[in-house]
Amino acid sequence: MKNERENDHPIELRQLRYFVTLAEELHFARAAERLKIEQSPLSRAIREMERILGVRLFERNTRSTRITRAGKVLFDYARRVIALVDHARTSARSAALGHGHHLRIGVSDCTAYCRATETLARYRKANSEILVSLYEMPLHQQISWIRDDLLDASISLDGSNRNGIEAQAVACDAICAVLPVAHPLAGTELVPPADLIRHPLILFSAEVDLGAGSQVDEFVDSLGRSHIAFRANSLGTMLTLVALGHGIGLVGSAQMTGVRRRDVVLRPIVGATPSLTTYVLHSNSGVSEPLENFIELARELASSAYSANVIS
């Protein structure tokens, strides 16, 4: 009975933040550095959590730190608790400042480069009474947060059918080739599809929300036999690999909006190149007026004619 009363001791929010950071880093020194604390209070907090819960959260030795099965279960809940508290704090402050609504939008690496930035800027300017918060996170976490009402929507290149989620298409952009400035095809205005399969290709990893795994991969499959040299986890990695001459990258033209690099160029592809569609994902239980206005603005901006940009 005594042990049961001890285990009923509440876990503090501070401890949950420590736990989540360590679960993400799986390295005490890096986690402590992110938290701006010493390693000893971090270790004490984790031991105290394990004592309260009566389970091991991490398996650690002198060489590595691994999260346990119990830790993985707690990790998912802990992130939601922290997000809910942070949202509550933000909403309370926005109400005190006179904001009538709080619109929470999720993005990932690629969609931050699409017209999301311009859409958000214009939306904020036209709707000063609405607080808009942007959260960068992986797609799977965006979906989870929408279902848990921690996000109102997310901007994604993946419009797959998902339980409880509706995907509204807001933009279509041509798939283009990214080449090193010294590449033989860089001097052409349009890249023939047949020339693409003669060179190594650099695509995005299917595990990140960059249109790989579906839209871009389907286009590559239609070209026939091709050599995929690398799969990048971010736009920055892809552009660096292209600049170093490891292959030709394939991206949506909007993904390069606002990107300025002198070592690569963007070229359209000859013919009826498939488009890369951008979606706004949200709960299928309904759309609030602020979110509906946001979606309409995104479509309005996308309807403008955008020519392929040469990066200079």
Q: Which residue has the higher pLDDT, 217 or 116?
A: 217
Q: How far apart are CA 46 and CA 66, in angstroms?
A: 13
pLDDT in tens, 117-173: 778 888 888 888 888 888 888 888 889 889 988 889 998 888 888 999 999 998 888
Distances (CA, A) of 187 to 190, 255, 258, 311: 9, 22, 22, 13
Q: Which of 310, 251, 238 is nearest to 278 (CA)?
A: 251
3-state secondary structure of 147: helix
3-state secondary structure of 179: strand
Same fold, 84-169+279-302 and 171-276: yes
List the chain domain ranges. 2-76, 84-169+279-302, 171-276
Reported as a pLDDT band with limits 50, 70 and 90, residue 180 is very high
Helix axes 28-35, 39-53, angle to 10 degrees: 100
Task: Give yes or no for residue 302 having a pLDDT over 50.
Answer: yes
pLDDT in tens, 29-72: 999 999 999 999 999 999 999 999 999 999 988 888 999 999 99
For 236-272, letters b (16+ CB in 10 Å) and e give ebbbbbbbeebbbbbbbbbbbbebebeebbbbbbeee
CATH class, range 84-169+279-302: alpha beta
Q: How far apart are CA 225 and CA 263, in angstroms?
A: 28
Only one residue has tokens 């009566």, namely 54
Tell me, what's the pLDDT at 110? 60
Q: How far apart are CA 24 and CA 33, in angstroms?
A: 13
Task: Give yes or no for residue 178 having a pLDDT over 80.
Answer: yes
User: Domain 2-76 falls in which CATH fold?
Assistant: Arc Repressor Mutant, subunit A (1.10.10)
Domain 171-276: assigned CATH number:
3.40.190.10
Task: Give yes or no for residue 308 having a pLDDT over 60.
Answer: no
Strand partners, 248: 201
Tell me, what's the pLDDT at 310? 35
The answer, as to whether pTM is greater than 0.95, is no
